[in-house]
Amino acid sequence: METGLLDAFSQEYKKLLENELKSLVEKLNAPSIIKESMIYSLEAGGKRIRPLLLFATMDAFGLDPRKGLLAAAAIEMIHTYSLIHDDLPSMDNDDLRRGKPTNHKVFGDAIAILAGDALLTYSFEVMGNIPNENAAPETKLKLTVEMAKAAGTEGMVGGQVADMEGEKKALSLEELEYIHIHKTGKLLRFSVLAGAILAGAKHCQIEDLSAFAHHLGLAFQIQDDILDVVGNEHLIGKPVGSDTTNQKSTYPQLLSLDGARDALQMQINLSKEYLEKTGLNTKLLMEITDLVASRDH
- Which residues here bind its own copies, judged by CB under 8 A? 28-31, 33-35, 38, 81, 85, 88, 90-91, 108-111, 113-114, 116-118, 120-122, 124-125, 128-129, 137-138, 140-141, 144-145, 147-149, 151-154, 157-158, 160-162, 164-165
Whichever of 186 and 272 has its CB closer to its own copies, that residue is 186
Whichever of 12 and 165 has its CB closer to its own copies, that residue is 165
Q: Closest separation between CB of residue 217 and its own copies, Å? A: 18
Whichever of 96 and 141 has its CB closer to its own copies, that residue is 141
The CA distance from 292 to 190, in Å, is 17
Q: Closest separation between CB of residue 206 and its own copies, Å? A: 18
Q: Which long-range contacts (CB under 8 A, 24 or more apart) does 262-271 make?
A: 263/222, 264/219, 264/222, 264/223, 264/226, 264/293, 265/293, 267/215, 267/216, 267/218, 267/219, 267/222, 268/215, 268/219, 268/292, 268/293, 270/211, 270/215, 271/212, 271/215, 271/216, 271/219
Task: Please tell me whether residue 2 adopts helix, strand or coil conformation.
Answer: coil
CA dihedral 258, 255, 217, 286 (to 10 degrees): 20
Task: Please tell me whether residue 151 adopts helix, strand or coil conformation.
Answer: helix
Q: Closest separation between CB of residue 5 and its own copies, Å? A: 35
Q: Closest separation between CB of residue 204 and its own copies, Å? A: 24
Q: Closest separation between CB of residue 107 and its own copies, Å? A: 11
Whichever of 87 and 287 has its CB closer to its own copies, that residue is 87
Length, in residues, of the chain: 297
The CA distance from 249 to 247, in Å, is 7
Q: Closest separation between CB of residue 163 and its own copies, Å? A: 10
Whichever of 129 and 294 has its CB closer to its own copies, that residue is 129
Whichever of 6 and 72 has its CB closer to its own copies, that residue is 72
The CA distance from 56 to 222, in Å, is 22
Q: Which long-range contacts (CB under 8 A, 24 or more apart) does 104-111 make?
A: 106/37, 106/40, 107/33, 107/36, 107/37, 107/40, 111/33, 111/34, 111/37
Whichever of 139 and 278 has its CB closer to its own copies, that residue is 139
Q: Closest separation between CB of residue 105 and its own copies, Å? A: 13
